[in-house]
Copies of this chain bind each other. A is one copy, B any other.
Amino acid sequence: MTTCTTQTVPQGVRGLALPLVGVGDVSKRILLGRKLRSSQLGETLLPKRIALPVFASDALSSVAYAPDEIFIMLSLAGASAYVWSWKIGIAVALVMAAVVASYRQVVRAYPSGGGDYEVATVNLGSKAGTTVASALLADYVLTVAVSVSSGAQYAAGAIDALDGHEALFATAMVLFLMALNLRGIRESGSYFAIPTYLFMVSILGMCAYGFAQLAIGDLPQVESAVLTITPDPSYDDSMTSFALMFLLARAFSSGCAALTGVEAISNGVPAFKRPKSKNAATTLLLLGAIAITMMLSVTILAKQMGLRFVDPSDLDRLKQNGQGVPANYDQHPVIAQIARAVFHDFSPGFYLVVTVTGILLVLAANTAFNGFPVLGSILAKDGYAPRALASRGDRLAYSNGIVFLAVMAIILIQVFNAEPTRLIQLYVVGVFVSFNLSQLGMIRHWTRHLRTEQDPAERRRMFRSRVINSIGLTFTGVVLVIVLITKFLAGAWITILAMIVFFMIMRGIRTHYDQVAVELAADEEDKVMPTRVHAIVLVSKLHKPTLRALAFAKATRPNVLEGVYVSTDGPATNRLLEEWDERNLGVPLKVLHSPYRELIKPIVDYTLEIKKANPRGVVAVYIPEYVVGRWWEQLLHNQTALRLKGRLLFAPGVMVTSVPYQLRSSQIAREREERELTRVRPGDLRRGQVSEQATPPRRQVDR
């Protein structure tokens, strides 16, 4: 008879004392409010006004470096080429609009948060899905590297002491973010909301103020306006129109860095308040509008204010009165230059803009640390990543991911000396690979649904959606081709190589899991029950753990039960034998002699011998273990038990039972484990699994 009972896990921890609270915990509670158990969380979803800053920081922060890249590329042909800047800005804005429109379709059709990966997998097959996943993985690394490097440029613009140490500062920032995320910082709406809104207000305010000055004919020049740019020798006056086209294409593809991060919302739909898809789509529209406004404003203002901006590794092309600029000339980012000029008589305005931009860049980098585990768990569910990533709260897996992300980003920062201009060359290709596959997938999606849909109104809607996605695909396809042509040799090959490696690892993992599944598939003979159980209890001393193990083993009423002792020392053995007799335990003790103090091999050999004598029986090995709490205590105990268990796993027909005996200090470790299990992990917020933070005043702000 098979009975199936189901039961929901109770929310509280029954039968366990509440963890003792340390001083650190107390101060954290005072600062952050009561820590919520993750199982109590998840009821509170994000309203649009919080979701926007949480998911938009990455996309918006690119305004801090994308316009700079347009000007750098154009500067190759001299400052006269800057006439193209606003046209390129508009081209980027058009692509952005098309992409936003496309993703509004995605969030409606796939509200589960799988995003591009899900769209590609469902509509184009698992290989396309894995390709998207590889692109996203590469992208997370680059988001960290580019954002932090750009942040370091802003910091150096505001703090002279950092000048020339940008790579060091960026590395330190990555390590800081890594440490925060390893400790398990919670992503909270409020820490995104305040800086992101401040950033929007200050950038848009600065631009508005600038345009007002422009309108009254009083627009100041930026600091670099006094300079002239010597064109690169290959782009002098005799430039062919083909060369011009290529230059504009390069500038455009660099400017497309502004589009990175737009896809974030499609991975975060489950975190939105209901109606989730509609709210996500609206938020996307808002994000697009704000990002386009910012980028165009900054680009146009910079041109109007006489900006002269070249590749920082090529500063000698900048001339002042026909002379080269001084060796210690410091080329500040575009936004910093505009802010300094616009707020020339109000320096707090300048510092606000620069500071807020820097903070937003760091937040953008942090979103990668939060997005990474989410992607990992989705991949793990499908067997493309270690399974441990799929279960929430596998700290080791999370930590490895976070360290991997940080190390890769630091390598990039060091190799490219924290210069955003050089890192951007690697950046855009991954995003556009995933844009393209997702648009293609969406077109397939609509075509498939159109085959069965009868309702004319619904069919019209689907037709319209398919047109939107087709336009999106056209734009992103053209951009991808341009990016590949203009950037492949400049660095995109590194990203493509990394994507291939990620792709192959993921396919390899999946192949392995598939093979194991085949090997493990059950057949009928697997139900055969062993005929007898021969239990042995390992004895090292006659203490409480051993007695408990003997009692537990007896309780299972095996066919044979004996204690097994490995003798390495005559007198100790005799003492044990005497004590064994005195205690009258009713269990025979077998002594294995091991003249060279080996413990593992005698036991393994004896076990195999029993098994050989009874091939259809099973050997149950009971290991008494005592459980201690402090890390150094763990070094001092149970090493042999651990190794023995590892070794016995290879013996067929043997089962290994740990009978734990909890020492007083084990309480410490239990509390640590408890804290670990209830901790909020990076990425929880964007999966809709974490409520907003809990102190009452902020809660009011957040709702």
- Residues of B within 8 Å of A420, CB to CB, are none
User: A608 CA to B547 CA in the complex, in Å?
Assistant: 22
Q: How close is A259's CB to chain B, nearest CB, in angstroms? A: 32
> Is residue A673 within 8 Å, beta carbon to beta carbon, of the partner chain?
yes
- Residues of B within 8 Å of A585, CB to CB, are 2, 527
Q: Is the CB of B556 within 8 A of A533?
A: yes
Give A520's nearest chain B residue, CB to CB: B543
Q: Is the CB of A662 within 8 A of B655?
A: no
Partner of A3, one of B388, B552, B588: B588
User: A2 CA to B587 CA in the complex, in Å?
Assistant: 6
- Residues of B within 8 Å of A108, CB to CB, are none
> Is residue A626 within 8 Å, beta carbon to beta carbon, of the partner chain?
yes
Q: Is the CB of A388 within 8 A of B520?
A: no
- Residues of B within 8 Å of A394, CB to CB, are 639-640, 643
- Residues of B within 8 Å of A482, CB to CB, are none
Q: How close is A379's CB to chain B, nearest CB, in angstroms? A: 12
User: A633 CA to B596 CA in the complex, in Å?
Assistant: 33
> What mask results when residues 316 to 327 of chain A are scored 1 for a CB within 8 Å of chain B, else 0?
000000000000
- Residues of B within 8 Å of A6, CB to CB, are 567, 590-591, 593
Interface of chain A, helix or strand or loop or mixed? mixed
Q: How close is A200's CB to chain B, nearest CB, in angstroms? A: 33
Tally of contact residues, A, Cβ under 8 A:
133
Give A3's nearest chain B residue, CB to CB: B588
> Is residue A449 within 8 Å, beta carbon to beta carbon, of the partner chain?
no
> Is residue A558 within 8 Å, beta carbon to beta carbon, of the partner chain?
yes
Give A41's nearest chain B residue, CB to CB: B596
Q: Which of A10-18, A55-63, A225-233, A244-252 contacts B (4 or more CB under 8 A)?
A: A10-18
> What mask results when residues 556 to 597 of chain A are scored 1 for a CB within 8 Å of chain B, else 0?
111000000001100000000100110111111111111111
> Is residue A627 within 8 Å, beta carbon to beta carbon, of the partner chain?
yes
Query: Hey, which bits of chain A sit against chain B, CB under 8 A?
Result: 1-10, 13-16, 38-39, 41-42, 377, 386-388, 390-394, 396-397, 509, 512-513, 516-517, 519-523, 526-533, 541-548, 550-552, 554-558, 567-568, 577, 580-581, 583-602, 605-606, 608-609, 611-612, 618, 620, 622, 625-628, 633, 635-637, 639-640, 643, 645-652, 654-664, 666, 669-670, 673, 677, 689
Given contacts A10-B609, A527-B550, 4 further A-B contacts (CB under 8 A): A390-B597, A516-B663, A529-B551, A655-B658
